[in-house]
Structures are given as C-alpha cells and as structure tokens.
Chain A
Amino acid sequence: MLNDAILLVGITLMYSTPLVFGALGGVISERSGVVNIGIEGMMVIGAISAASASYFTQNPWIAFLVAGLCGAAVAALHALASVTFSANQTVSGVAINLLAPGIALFACRSFFDGAAMTPIVPKLPKIFGDNAFAGTIWANLNLNVTTVIALALALALWFVLYKTKWGLRVRAVGEHPAAADTLGIDVYRTRFICVLISGMFAGFGGASMTTAIISQFTQTAISGHGFIAMAAVIFGKWTPQGAYGACLLFGCTQALVVLLGGGNIVVPSQILAMLPYFMTIIVLVLFVGRSVAPKADGVPYIKGSR
C-alpha cells in the first residue's frame, strides 16, 4: 500500500513536469491576450536543443538554459507575426507546430551525422543525488530537479501575475488592451515579452523531457505534450496555480492507469487508456465549472481601432 502510494506520487510528478512548463508558458501568453497554439512546437525545439547542447557541452544545466533560449527564439517568430504584424494567432501557432518537428529533425541530422535521434546525453541531476535510495521504494520519490523547478516557476508566475505591478499590466493588456493603452502601457511590448517568456517556459518543458525523463532526443519525445498543456491552461482557468493543478491531475490519472494495469489488479489496457479522459470530464463537471478566457485573448490589438 505504501509502495503504491509512493509510486503514485512519484509517477504523477514525473509525468506532469513537462506539462507544467508548457502550461505555464500557455498561461503567461494567454493572460497577455495572445493565444499560443505553438507550445507543442516550442517544446519540440526545446527538446532537441537541450539534448544537442547537453551532448556538446556535457553540461545539462547549460543545456537547460539553451533550451529556454531556443524556445524563446521560436516564440519570437510567433510574437513577430501575431503581435507586431497582428496576424491570426492560431495560424501562426499552427505554423510553428508544423515547422518545429522539421527543424528539430534537420538540426538533429546536421549535428549527429544524419541520425534521427541524438546519442545518450548527460542529464540533469535528481534532487537527492543520482543514486540516493537506490534499490528501495523511496527511489521513486527521488525526483528530477526539473520537477522542483516547475513548481518554483508556477509559484513565481503566480506571484508576478497577482502581486506585482507588471503582472497587473499583463492581465490588463489581456482583458482590455485599449484601456491599458490609454493608461500608457505599451501593449505590443508587454505582449511580445509575454510570448517570449512563454516560449522560454515551453523550451524548458522540452528540456525536462530530453535531459531529465529520458536522456536523448527522439522524434516521439514530445508527442502531444504541448496540446495537453494547452488543455491544462483552460482547465486551470488561465491561472498558474490552476494550470499546475490540472497538470498534476493529468499526471495522476496516468499514474493510476499504470498502477491499475500492472501487478495483481489487471484491468484491460484499452479500458485504462480511457481513464484520463473520463476523469478529466468528471473533474471538469464537478469541480471546475465555467472557465472564462481573458477577454482579449486571441484578438490582435490594433491601435486606435474600436
């Protein structure tokens, strides 16, 4: 029983970590009024850049930062199109999702003699050291350091959004950019910065997959995580704490699927595969209720328009 409980917590946190990064990226972008469908693509870019940087520098911490920068660089494209040039935000995000796997594969092949996956690379440490509790059940609580970083970022983002002047401005820009503009807030700059941060977080998410959960980039390393993260943003009502909780819920359902499907209690895997979606609907109906997006979310701001 204790074994199962520890395993449940360990798997939940492991599974949810990349999602948390992606979801926090989604929150900051959407709170400023820019829909970021491109989270998935930015995570893919983060994943390949982290693995490559870790391989060439042999330092996973540098790799983690590089992944954030590369994610932000891709986000800059999104920001340029959708903020600066007021292009359709969904189209720009989808373009990034289509572009990113191609760029990742191209980069991988250029760096690693044409291979479609990277070699094994150094990865980020565990919180209690790599071999702590080895061989005991507690080893499952020896989480990746990225899990802690994700929690810290969630807290930081909550603080920034709700307790600082800049956070208030971000929210104002997302709700009513024209009003914010008349008060002297630079809407374009605020949104641009938020999208950049969004890409950086998503890049971290990719890194948390390829330099923590596994230690190489493969084409399937990021497969749909960005979209689950986007769902978590809506599920969590566009708040950092809500999105974090939603990611934990998704992770927890997966952990339940794993625990119920193995060992002595054997439920058919196809039934179990439905569990996460089933639980999501139940939680949505019973506990979450109506979810309202920031009012100007997805609407390009054009100065002077009514």
Chain B
Amino acid sequence: MQANTIEVMAGRFRNSDGRKARPYTKGRQVDRLTKAEIKALIGESPRRDLLIEYLHLIQDRHGHLSSKNLAALADEMCLAQSEVYEVATFYAHFDVVHEGENPPPPMTIRVCDSISCELANAEKLVHDLEQASLKDVRILRAPCMGRCATAPVAEVGHNHVDHATLKKITEAVAGKHIHPAIPDYIGFDDYCGSGGYRLWKNCLKGRYSPERILDDLDTSRLKGLGGAGFPTGRKWRIVGGYEAPRLMAVNIDEGEPGTFKDRYYLESDPHRFIEGMLIAAWVVGIEKSYVYIRDEYPAIIALLKEEIAKVQSAGLADHLEIEIRRGAGAYICGEESAMIESIEGKRGLPRNRPPYVAEVGLFGRPTLENNVETLHWVRDIIEKGPKWFSESGANGCSGLRSYSVSGRVKEPGVKLASAGITIRELIEGHCGGMLDGHKFKSYLPGGASGGILPASIDNVPLDFGTLHEYGCFIGSAAIVVFSDQDNMKDVALNLMRFFRDESCGQCTPCRSGTEKAARLMAKPEWDMELLEDLSTVMTDASICGLGQAAGNPINCVFKYFPEDL
C-alpha cells in the first residue's frame, strides 16, 4: 500500500529537532478524484444513517465496493474506515474488493438453498449450474428469497426465476434478463375507485377518533403478524404514551424461510398497507415512518416508491414523512431492534432489552415497529367492524392468518384462513392434499425457527401460543410440509446451517453455538449430550430470538424423530 508515496516522500520529512519523522502518512490514503466521484454519487451533506444506501449506490454503479471507493466514502462521511468496512462486510449483497483482488464477474446468479428449495432439488441445480461453466457469471448460494411456493428459485441479477431450471437460468443469462418483473397489482387509481383511502380521509375529517380506532383494534384482537403476536392495539397505545417525537419502522424484511405472505400482499394490493400505515401514524402521533424492505424484494422496492409518491402527490400523506430503506441481505434485520440498527446505517446487531424499542427505538426515540401484514388488515377491521376479524378464527382461536404453505403439497401458496385451523385442515382443505406419492410425515409450523412437528400432532390449532407445549411456535405462519421421503435429520441440518450463516455474530451462544451445532449435525452420528447442551445455552443465553430459537430443530428431532437419526 502507498508504495509510490513512500518512494516519493522518503527522507524528506524531519521534525524540528532533526529526528527522522515517518516519511509517509499512516494507513490508506484517499485520492482526490475518487473522493470527487463519491461526492457526486452520494450528494452534499451525507447522513450517517444513509451509509447502507450509499454502499448500494456504489455497488450498483461498479458491481462491487473497491477499497478505493470505500476509503473515499469514509472520508466524505467523516467516518472511520473500519466503521464503513464493518458495515460493508456484514451484509451479503455487498462485495468488498481489496487492492490487487479481482472484482466479481458482471453477473451474479443466486440459488436459494433454504429448506423449501432444498426439497425441490436446489442442490442439483447448483451442481448443474457449476458444471455448465457459464461465462462471466458467478453462482452463489443464498438464503430464502420468499418465493417458496415456486421452488426451486434462483435470482439472475435482480430477476427472480421461479421453478428454476438450468435452461430457464441460462436463457435469462443469455438474454441479460436481470431486472425484476413488476407484478400486476392494484394501483392508486383502482384502489381509490373501490373505496380505498375513504377511511383515511374520514379520519382526517374527524369522523373517526384515534381512540375509536384503538378500541376497534383491541376488539378485533389483531396481533403482530410478523411472528411475535403482540396485540396491535396495545402496542399502538404504549408507543403513543411515550413522549414525542415518535417514529415508526415498517418491517418488510420477510426472511423467515418458508414465509412469503408479505410479498404476496405487497405485490397484489400495496395501498391497503399504505393506508394502514397512515392511520397508524396518525393514531399514535408519529412524524416519520421508515419502510425497511429486504433487498430480495426489488420489485416491491420499485412499486412502493412509485405508489407512495402518488399518495404524497394526492396530499394524503401531509402529516407523515415517509422514507424507504433498502436492506442488503441479512435475515437478522427482520429482528426489530436489528432493523433499527440497520436503518441507522449500522450492522444489524439486535439490542439487549430492556429498554424496548417502543420506548427507546430509532435514533433513541419511541418507535412503533409493525409488520406489513398487520397494517394491511387495519382498513378491513375498521370498515367491516372488529368482530368480522375476531370471529373469523377456528377451534377457539381468533382472527385470520395468512399461511405461507410450501413443501410436499399439491397447491402451495398463501392461504388466507382462520387462525387456529389444524395442519390437516390446511393441507386437505386449502392445499389440495399431499403431492402424489408422498405421505404426510411432519411440518414446520413457523419457518426455520418454530420447530418441527410430527404428523401425529395434527389436531392442534395453529395459532400464537398453542404450540408452546410441544416446543414449537407459529411465528409468521410459514408452514413447510414434509413427506415420508424426507429425513428430519437432513432438514434440521439445513435449518441449522441457515442460522449459522445468518447469525449476526454478536453473542457467544449464537455465534459459536450455531457453528458448533452445524459441525456436529453434519456428522453421521449425532452426539446427544453435546447438541442438547448447545441447544440449552443458545435458548437460555442468546440476546435475540434467532439464537433463542436455533435449538428448536435439534430438540424436535430428538423428541419426535429418533428413527431418523
């Protein structure tokens, strides 16, 4: 580094007392041209919280992040080089290239290797792609892309290929089809034409009071549909009770393997969510909302930018500043406090609690964090009446659930059904039954985190809290169905590798525990004592839900599928 500088400057520096000073400046220097380029790219007065957005700008322009550009960015933002570097290397969608290293090929193919895609032979697809020796292309494995009903899935550039085959992918590569396909959705005019934003306008006219909306939410028993199931009305009241200014963070970082309901709603009816967000902000007294969207959903980023702009032009969002933020490939940012860190432009490290984000959230302010589907239901609950929602449940449960179903069923997809239906009712009544030649063996009730249940436990209502006694939980209602052709030891290893790859690395139990567990679980024989100890320490001592749930696959295999070991 800086060899030229050293030669040119050598011997020319002397301190006043005649001692030799270091003949060069320490560390990596910034060249002026690059700094001017970076300045032109990110604009005047850079904001610390936009670091990840700036990294995207550079990565999008150059296809990677060179040391030269990163150093210039750090300098322009008055940040330590290490601070920029640690953020750039945390997120999977950034490619940092050091001096003397080759940048990645111009085109990237990501193949999903999470559980639903693995069931659909993603492994063979990766192998075939590697054998095909495509020119100027690199092939990467990637975690769940939220398209599990059309597994296996690959992404060519930002173009997702459903039911991916070698042929489909090579055609996309040859045709340079690298941009996301924008789905056919209900746009602003159509949404308004069918009564959309009427409720919101009525709120502004004073026909509804914030208290009335809160009461309806309480009566509806709507709960946080991101997975935690916290009563929505109560959350809104809590945040509203803290001193202003208050902020909002909308969680569209749908990364739990097997979950794709949020994508489904945003790609079909995005304004229903926007109207819910406007109402939430008004009721709670929020002045700015950050909409955090995972980078795996480029079509949604594009369409929400367009549709939110329309809402703003129509004068419907005058009380609320809205900022869209783009994730960069990190499952952990779906954890609410990690998302807040990421919105602040940092690594997505979950925070220790207390304090809770409702009190001390974004930029230290009280923050309302809601999942997108939770907000999606607000309009219907107020318009149809809260009992319409609360009385939609089954088997003693309350409300509706959007089950994301994938795996060995005939008709996978998002199934809107009663909260509390059983897995049998879901498979037989909503998914056309099992695939031919497959016998129902087991299921994930809540993605990678929610544990694994055997087919024998098929009469338990699927809802928040009901699966606790079986060591499982429903979370985001990502149901992955397995058959007699699937080995649960292999399934558990896939899930553990996902946790290992997506652990933020902050706390010992999760960082080290998932790594050790994945090593031990790849062995032909499982060491029960060691794996149970790992599960215990991850569950009891991890900072956040990722580590606390990472032991679930281990426990469930020992408990329910000893014959698979």
Does B associate with A?
Answer: no
Chain A positions near chain B (C-beta within 8 angstroms): none
Chain B positions near chain A (C-beta within 8 angstroms): none
